[in-house]
């Protein structure tokens, strides 16, 4: 194939140039205002490229491509060819027209600098992303320009599946969009720039049969931005799934945002302010709520159970369960759901009667349709819990010191007044986990305030005592 090669220091174009074969620039390519440059072969840019013209037009009867040593800017790009492939990143400074044929991103980035919705238009053309590592990206510098911005995406097979972002408020900055189809089990999962780890339902089972076979990744670098998103998939990717709802992956699958609407192959989601990887579920079987954490901790002689959800959908209630062996669990409390939400919700429950020894706790989350799932298991150990108690107080005669969890330990017990004077002391070896000492203060302790101090294993326990 013959090539047109430019080696001159500058080529100024103010008229139409029809390059019938490949065009390679090793020099300084510049076009004047009003120039129309038509390429019928490939464009290879290995030099300086300054486009001030009216239009650069690719109009070949066979596939064409742009390649070269570095990213460069085309002011107005018009694609009207059998197929067009990026072999490098390019920037469109003003407008992109897709009249015919696919534009393959081919693991490269196409950037649109003009923030107006009319910066991108199409007749029969479309943009093919479709890289499973999300490397084929379209970036649009939308900023704070409100309105419907259509990313004219299509599949390798030629199906048109546009993604639209209708900015309603805020500065969203540069919006980056990529998408790719999956197998019936939704593999491969996205691994970059966000890693998706599952397609489970609330029971932890594979829910891929109720999930459309496509992922989208959407990023923005602006400080704000609230938008309505429209996702499109092919009929084959949707299959028999109905009642479509888009879901976003945060640290897990979040509940579908409220107010969504759908057709057989599209979903519209209003009020979006957070962006990441998305998919579409349906058949009233969404991906699960996200449980951020579940904990159990001692609170005096009770156990406080806490959990936090990042999102909930169709969740009815929670059952708090307790077990002696982490195998057989019993319900000890029921906590109602706070309702569908995509924001953090905090819950707590109190177990006033934990087992002596280790108590195991878990959470059973129950949906409105009866489906359920379990949390992780948390444990609390009251075995050999060292405590000291004194009773009765006020005391008129004999009082008792209860030593718990000190079996086999040497314990020093002292009774002193608020000035530090000792009135009673003893040293003993506790014989069991609930050793009780009876102290008769008759003739020794006048009415007033005293302190009972027990020391064991270099730990001091002090309790207040009132003598009538």
Q: To 10 degrees, the CA torsion angle through 4, 6, 12, 13?
A: 10
What is the mean pLDDT of the segment spanning 108-136? 97
Residue 172 has pLDDT above 90, yes or no: yes
Of 80-84, 181-185, 326-330, 423-427, where does mean pLDDT reach its minimum? Answer: 326-330
List phi, psi (to 5°) of 309: -110, 140
pLDDT attached to residue 290: 67
Q: To 10 degrees, the CA torsion angle through 181, 187, 189, 190?
A: -30
Residue 106 has pLDDT above 50, yes or no: yes
Identify any residues that bridge with 306 across adjacent strands, giving them in sequence order.
295, 348
Comparing 266 with 257, the larger pLDDT belongs to 266
pLDDT attached to residue 311: 67
Per DSSP, helices labelled H in 141-288 are 235-238
Residue 166 has pLDDT above 60, yes or no: yes
Residue 390 has pLDDT above 60, yes or no: yes
Q: What does the DSSP 8-state code read for residue 417?
A: E
Torsion sign over Cα 333, 338, 343, 346 = negative
In three-state secondary structure terms, 66 is strand
Alpha-carbon separation of residue 390 from 113, 297, 444, 468 (angstroms): 77, 25, 18, 15
Burial classification of residue 1, based on how many CB atoms lie within 10 Å of its CB (0-12 exposed, 13-18 middle, 19 or more buried) = exposed
pLDDT band at 277 (very low <50, low <70, confident <90, very high): very high
Structure token digits, residue 28: 């300084």
Q: For the domain made up of 387-467, give the CATH fold.
A: Immunoglobulin-like (2.60.40)
Architecture of domain 290-381: Sandwich (2.60)
pLDDT attached to residue 396: 83
Question: Any residues with CB less than 8 A from the CB of 235 and at least 6 apart, and which?
Answer: 264, 265
Rounded Cα–Cα distance for residues 323 and 332 (Å):
10
pLDDT band at 161 (very low <50, low <70, confident <90, very high): very high
Cβ pair 430, 401 in contact under 8 A: no
pLDDT attached to residue 5: 40
Average pLDDT of the chain? Answer: 87
In three-state secondary structure terms, 236 is helix
Of 51-60, 188-197, 339-348, where does mean pLDDT reach its minimum? Answer: 339-348
Torsion sign over Cα 215, 220, 221, 224 = negative
Rounded Cα–Cα distance for residues 301 and 402 (Å):
15
What is the mean pLDDT of the segment spanning 175-193? 96
């Amino acid at each position: 194939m013959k090539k047109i090669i430019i080696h001159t220091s500058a080529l100024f174009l103010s008229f139409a140039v029809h390059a019938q074969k490949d065009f390679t620039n090793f020099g300084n390519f510049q076009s004047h205002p009003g120039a129309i440059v038509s390429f019928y072969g490939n464009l290879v840019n290995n030099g300086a490229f300054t486009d001030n013209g009216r239009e650069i037009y690719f109009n070949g009867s066979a596939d064409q491509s742009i390649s070269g040593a570095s990213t460069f800017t085309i002011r107005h790009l018009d694609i009207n060819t059998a197929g067009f492939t990026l072999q490098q990143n390019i920037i469109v400074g003003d407008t992109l027209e897709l009249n015919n044929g696919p534009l393959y991103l081919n693991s490269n980035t196409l950037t649109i600098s003009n923030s107006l919705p009319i910066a991108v238009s199409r007749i029969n053309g479309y943009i093919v992303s479709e890289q499973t590592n999300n490397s084929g990206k379209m970036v649009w510098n939308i900023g704070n320009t409100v309105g419907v911005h259509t990313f004219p995406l299509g599949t390798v097979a030629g199906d048109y599946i546009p993604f639209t972002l209708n900015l309603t408020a805020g500065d969203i900055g540069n919006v980056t969009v990529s998408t790719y189809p999956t197998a019936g089990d939704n593999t491969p999962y996205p691994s970059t720039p966000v890693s998706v780890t599952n397609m489970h339902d609330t029971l932890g089972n594979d829910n891929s049969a109720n999930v459309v076979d496509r992922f989208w990744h959407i990023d923005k670098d602006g400080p704000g931005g609230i938008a309505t998103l429209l996702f499109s998939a092919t009929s084959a990717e949707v299959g028999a799934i109905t009642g479509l709802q888009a879901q976003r992956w945060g640290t897990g699958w979040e509940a579908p945002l409220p107010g969504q609407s759908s057709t057989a192959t599209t979903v519209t989601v209003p009020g979006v302010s957070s962006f990441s990887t998305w998919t579409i579920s349906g058949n009233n079987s969404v991906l699960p709520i996200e449980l951020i954490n579940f904990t159990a901790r001692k609170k005096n002689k009770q156990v406080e159970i806490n959990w936090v959800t990042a999102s909930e959908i169709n969740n009815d209630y929670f059952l708090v369960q307790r077990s002696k062996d982490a195998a057989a669990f019993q319900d000890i409390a029921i906590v109602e759901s706070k309702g569908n939400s995509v924001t953090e919700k905090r819950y707590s429950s109190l177990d006033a009667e934990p087992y002596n020894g280790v108590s195991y706790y878990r959470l059973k989350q129950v949906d409105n349709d009866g489906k359920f799932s379990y949390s992780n298991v948390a444990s609390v150990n009251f075995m050999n819990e060292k405590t000291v108690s004194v009773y009765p107080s006020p005391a008129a005669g004999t009082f008792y010191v209860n030593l718990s969890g000190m079996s086999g330990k040497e314990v020093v017990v002292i009774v002193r007044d608020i000035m530090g004077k000792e009135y009673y002391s003893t040293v003993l070896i506790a014989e069991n986990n609930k050793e009780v000492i009876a102290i008769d203060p008759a003739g020794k302790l006048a009415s007033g305030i005293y302190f009972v101090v027990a020391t064991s294993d270099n730990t001091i326990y002090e309790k207040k005592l009132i003598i009538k």
